[in-house]
Structure 1
Amino acid sequence: MRALAKLEQVLPSRLRRRVNTLQAYTVPVPRDDAGPSIDPTVLTALSAVCRDRERLRFDYHDHAGAATVRAVEPYRLVIWGRRWYLLAWDVERSDWRTFRVDRIRRRTPTGPRFTPRDLPDDVAAYVSRRVSAAAWRYQAQVTVHAPAEVIADRIGPAAGTVERLDERTCVLHTGADTVETLAVHLGLLGADFDVTGPPELLTHLHRLAHRYIRTITSSAPGDRTG
């Protein structure tokens, strides 16, 4: 978003209006892993239909590769690291939906115009809850032996959502494209935890544990010479 602000200062008025629209209808979420790059013309086109309150039709492929045609009322673009999501009201499903922009293939023309609805109270948090784990290749539910509010303060919303079990225990719903990134999320918890899967994550955690134990053993004071 800082780059957009700098770009705005040197643009002619016609292009500056497009950048202003993109900024006005974009909601940032704290940075996570890098995602696919997006054609800027797609972002400006989507921000324009958000601004003009025009219905949008597009072809969409979900994370499993299933193809559908969607008709929506677009409201906001949400940045998550380098991933872009469109928050929209799905006309046929009568509910809010989030769509990865890199999976959208727009159909023309747009329209008709629609009467705006009340947005969720916290757009960034809402989108985070909807896509934080479901969008990733690897997903995990981790029982953490610490209060939910403590864990929520230690991780960003892009890393997952925290569900309270009791005063001393919570569940972290998390995900990532790689098990290495998942392990980083767990390392940031600063608390004991139990995890049952996925198997690839358990294998990676075993490797990390052996590596750390080997490092500690080789660095023990009694083993030093000289």
Structure 2
Amino acid sequence: MSDVSAVSRTLRLLSLLQTHRYWVGGELARRLDISTRTLRRDVERLRDLGYRVNANRGAAGGYHLEAGADLPPLVFTDGEAVALALSLRAAASSRLISEAAEITVAALAKLEQVLPARLRDRISSAHHNTELSIPNSSDGMVAPEVLAQLALACRDSERQLLTVTRDAGDEVARRVEPVRLVLFARRWYLICWDLDRDDWRTLRLDRIQAATGTDIRFGVRILPLEDAEAFVRSQLGSPPQTHSVTVVIDAEFEEVAARIGRWGSSLAPADAEHTIWKIESDHAEVLVGMVVWLQWPWRASGSAKFDALVQEAAGRFNSAAASETAVISGQIA
């Protein structure tokens, strides 16, 4: 048997060992269509590679994969790889991570590099046809394909052509050399060298509509500050204030969850008759809009600006309710 087929079979053995806690030796050999003697050789091959495969003797003897001191390479099926890529994209682009931000992006870059084209198509299709319920707000959402592309570009030092939306709403092209991705104040930023401006630039990723590789590599660029986050802070000034509000709703959890639907992923039962809803946004007005249509009594705490805006909104509602304006047959009288 060729070395190639032996390696392929060993990888399949590893994949099977990862799917079940314990395999009877005879069943495992039948699944691989090999003899028990060949199975023992393949198990030894895995052990030589650092995998801890334990064997039990006897009529029901078999094998199981144990955790070791180091994390060995893992084998994923196509479906598992798609699920993992979607999860990494979602976690990074939705900013549901903080301290592990750079690690998540690095893992995403490694996975994106080796994904076959057929799996990339499945991931793109799944992403565009799946709704991800993100708690809190949608401010600063990043296109997952942009994040993945720029993660690779930073790692591989590849020049990129960017399509960026400016504050005025118009789009502009940028030729850049990406250096670092930084999660700062709940937003992703790209630190890059702007080839047209011949200077450092810090770009918000949610403003980048497209990123295209050029296959042009560039040399190492040293940031003006050793700390990438400190550099972003120096470019942007003080981060925007985040408004966090805890809402206590006078209704059962199941009833509230059914009403709010996908927007209620941060809901939690307080007791049998009350529900807690924790929400946050860079804009307190967004939070007012989230609670104004609740059909149950509620109380909120956590943001003075939110409280003031609620009072203003209540005044407008009261004024509208007290108005003597009548609507008759669709006409205002």
Greater relative contact order (Cα < 8 A, sep 6+)? 1
Whose Rg is larger?
2
Calculate the TM-score normalised by the size of structure 2. 0.33
